[in-house]
Amino acid sequence: MTCIVGLECDGQVFIGADSMAASGWDARETLLHKVFHRGEFLIGYTTSFRMGQLLEHRLEVAEQGDEDDMAYMVATFVEAVRELFKDNGFSKIDSNQEEGGIFLVGYRGRLYNVCSDFQVNRFSDGFAACGCGEAYALAALKIYDDLGPNQRCLEALKIAEYFCAGVRGPFFVEVLGA
């Protein structure tokens, strides 16, 4: 239950998040921010607070070599995440298939979407969202393309909150590459 939005703009990455903590029909505002800086990365997560805490406080990623950014994200970043999750009891492994969680990552001016099967994706339109408010936020990010990036993220989160019971403010937006 959450909404994470992200977008690329002029070499910067903006990622915003809500403050919903939910369990079944119970919902509360959390003080944990679902968007944070970790080294060179800006990360916004859904799925699990435990997953976010591991990413925020324990993730160690080797520096990039001479490979391009996508190769680095696939071969180095995601492999570090997979090991982190396995070593700390977060990964679900069934029939030799691993499952983690879903999160957005800003790195070197680009926005990446990491899915629960650890695939890494980028989108041609330069924005993404995840969580139960994803569809509403994506539509808002598309139609509000005339706004500045910070305001565009906030408006997308407000629209997701309006339509989705699993999204709740206050909202926070962080920037990578300011």
Beta strand 110-114 with 120-121 is antiparallel
Q: Is the N-terminal amide bond of 170 cis, ω within 30° of 0?
A: yes
Q: Which two tokens stand for residue 50?
A: 């435990």
137-29-106 Cα angle (round to 5): 45
Q: What pLDDT, on the 0 to 100 scale, is given for residue 72?
A: 98
Burial of 171 (0-12, 13-18, 19+ CB in 10 A): buried
85: CB partners within 8 A, 6+ apart: 51, 54, 91, 98, 100
State the DSSP code for 83.
H
For the chain, residues with pLDDT lower than 70 are 178
Q: What pLDDT, on the 0 to 100 scale, is given for residue 24?
A: 86
CATH 3.60.20.10 for domain 3-176: yes
Q: What pLDDT, on the 0 to 100 scale, is given for residue 178?
A: 64
126: CB partners within 8 A, 6+ apart: 7, 8, 9, 111
DSSP helix/strand/coil, 177 = coil
CA nearest to 132, candidates 32, 22, 3? 3
State the DSSP code for 64.
P
Q: What pLDDT, on the 0 to 100 scale, is given for residue 169?
A: 97
Q: Which two tokens stand for residue 22?
A: 């939910």
